Amino acid sequence: MTDPVKLAIESVDTDAVTAHEGVVAVLAEPGQRLDSAAARVNRAQRGALARLVASDVFGKLKPGEAVRMDWPAGMAAETVLAIRLGRKEDAAAARKAGAAVGKALGKAGALICAGSHKQAAQIGLGAVLRAYDFADHRTGERRMPGTVRLAVSDPKAVSADWAPMQAAAAGVLFTRDLVNAPANVLTTKAFAKQIKGMKELGLTVEVLDEEALGKLGMGALLAVGQGSDSPSKVAVIEWRGGKKNAAPLALVGKGVVFDTGGVSIKPAAGMEEMTMDMAGAAVVAGVMKTLALRKAKANVVGLVGLVENMVSGNAQRPGDVVTSMKGDTIEVINTDAEGRLVLADVMWYAQERFKPAAMIDLATLTGAIVIALGHENTGVFSNDDAMAESVLKAAAAEGEGAWRMPLGEAYDKQLKSRLADMKNVGGRAAGAVTAAQFLARFVKDGTPWVHLDIAGTALRSDETTFAPKGATGWGVRALDRLVRDRFEG
């Protein structure tokens, strides 16, 4: 697994600025006086930094954007990054500034001259998130970034701010590693093993095997995995940091480690990306890791359904009727609409066993949500306005795009079945909505529930501000923020 780049928080030392051999990052704003570190860089460069800051090029930058000055005269550094970031800029701009450093980071590391900036820890977070590089399966020279030194006026205060962010960064990178892992490596057994390893953080972990799932009546989930040699499992991860008898928040994740589409097989083009169909489960695991690392004062339980949807002589067929743990029967029209079958049983089990205060499920559920929202926003569906607003607010605070989508009884007619209580698909029209409407049937009355369709945001074919191409870790920081804001203290 990928270790986060090391962030060392230290006092400002202007003598170190010209001696650092990697990346030196300074903060500036047109019309404002350079701080002591930036002034030292400017003197070493004989005024070049001041001329840059006063230029139209720098003036047109958005907060958090940077200009590179490679092999600067008078300094040992390979690169000086001049970052536009005023003292009053918010956390989002500060994270973006840090991401510019993380992207430029090399073996010699980086020195970020943050001084007394109030968002210094957020700068560090951006750097750590963007410095991520998944290289587990590359045999050639791999990127080995050096330490990021965050030079600040008050290291003790910034270190206190950084501690919970460090936990969130570890959770994000854990999630990215899981999503990026190939399916022959991250099997259902291997995923379960990774989750079991989280016990060392103080989490309680239980893994239910197929025999146990059969006894519980999880016929929908088991039907999805019956065509694979990888056994289906449900992992239960508990963090009890709140009041002893307080009902937990339940997080439920879809963990389809590979999705061929089953008998309703997907097109070959792009099928290799279906290693990411377990991203919902990965986010749940990442959130639980974060909560344990920062000792969250809340009760949260994560449940993930781990299956593989393969084609074989034992795979479920279109037209099969399966019985969910709830007892409802489902006509399988399309075996590629398998994630909702997994979630239906795990969501019902979560409510039966834990009586949660609220429930959130995450899944790469539909291609339709990508058509609706692209890759910038996760689709948010909910039966509870206050809960939905809390999720949207938390996502916005962490810069993770989310957009609320509709639910309504009018969509139920698309799920009517001639043979069973419902069909597992409702046709092309409003595909993401009917998928959510299907899941809503497995939410008990009185349970606040949010469904997050992360099909467009879990994996990107282009780099983002905070991640290279591949897994993004979307949702770990947003849900950690939600727990802090709504379920702690």
Q: Which two tokens stand for residue 339?
A: 């994630």
Choosing from 266, 297, 393, 486, the catalytic residue is: 266
C-alpha count within 13 angstroms, C-beta hemisphere, residue 414:
20
Kindly state the helix (H) or strand (E) to which residue 223 belongs, with its residue range. Answer: helix 219-225
The 10 Å Cβ neighbour count of residue 312 is: 12
Number of H helices, E strands in the chain: 16, 19
Choosing from 84, 103, 149, 340, the catalytic residue is: 340
In 147-244, the DSSP E strands lie at 148-152, 204-208, 233-240
3-state secondary structure of 164: helix
Q: What is the DSSP string of 21-66?
A: -SEEEEEE-TTS---HHHHHHHHHTTTHHHHHHTSHHHHTPPTT-E
Between CA 334 and CA 349 the distance in angstroms is 24
3-state secondary structure of 363: strand
266 flagged as catalytic? yes
Between CA 49 and CA 69 the distance in angstroms is 9
Between CA 44 and CA 26 the distance in angstroms is 13
How far apart are the two ends of the chain, measured CA to CA in Å? 33
CB 28 within 8 Å of CB 97: no
The 10 Å Cβ neighbour count of residue 31 is: 9
Q: What is the DSSP letter of 188?
A: H
245-262 core/surface letters (b: 16 or more CB in 10 A; e: else): eeebbbbbbbbbbbbbbb
Spatial neighbors of 427 by CB under 8 A, at least 6 apart, are 414, 434
Distance of CA 403 to the CA centre of its chain: 16
Between CA 442 and CA 348 the distance in angstroms is 6
Orientation of helix 431-440 relative to helix 339-354, angle to 10°: 30
3-state secondary structure of 110: strand
Which positions are catalytic? Answer: 266, 340
